[in-house]
């Protein structure tokens, strides 16, 4: 189920009865493909993740408050 959305992506959670939750962040690559489309990626993050920013920051090994991606123009 959709749990959180912010400028970094969408946090999704699948609750499993006999195991830890599966938590993923859905992100869209800001760099277009040669055909102009933007590829979607799914990043698996720890089940304790509560926001999309927290999940993306975790993939880079930084604290959510320190994660400030550059704006691409």
Question: Residues 1-48: pLDDT tens digits?
Answer: 788 999 999 999 999 999 999 999 999 988 889 999 999 999 999 999
Q: Is 90 exceeded by the pLDDT of residue 56?
A: yes
Residue with more model confidence, 6 or 66: 6
Kindly report whether the global pTM for this prediction surpasses the value 0.85: no
CA angle 26–45–4, rounded 5-degree value: 50
Residue with more model confidence, 71 or 33: 33
The helix/strand/coil state of 58 is helix
Residue with more model confidence, 55 or 31: 55
Instruction: Show me where the domains of the chain are located.
Output: 2-60
The number of residues in the chain equals 73
């Amino acid at each position: 189920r959709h749990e959180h959305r912010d400028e970094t992506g969408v946090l999704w959670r699948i609750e499993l009865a006999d195991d830890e939750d599966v938590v993923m962040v859905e992100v869209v690559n800001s760099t277009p493909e040669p055909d102009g489309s933007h590829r979607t990626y799914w990043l698996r993050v720890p089940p304790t993740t509560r926001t999309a920013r927290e999940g993306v920051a975790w993939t880079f090994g930084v604290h959510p408050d320190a994660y400030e991606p550059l704006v691409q123009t």
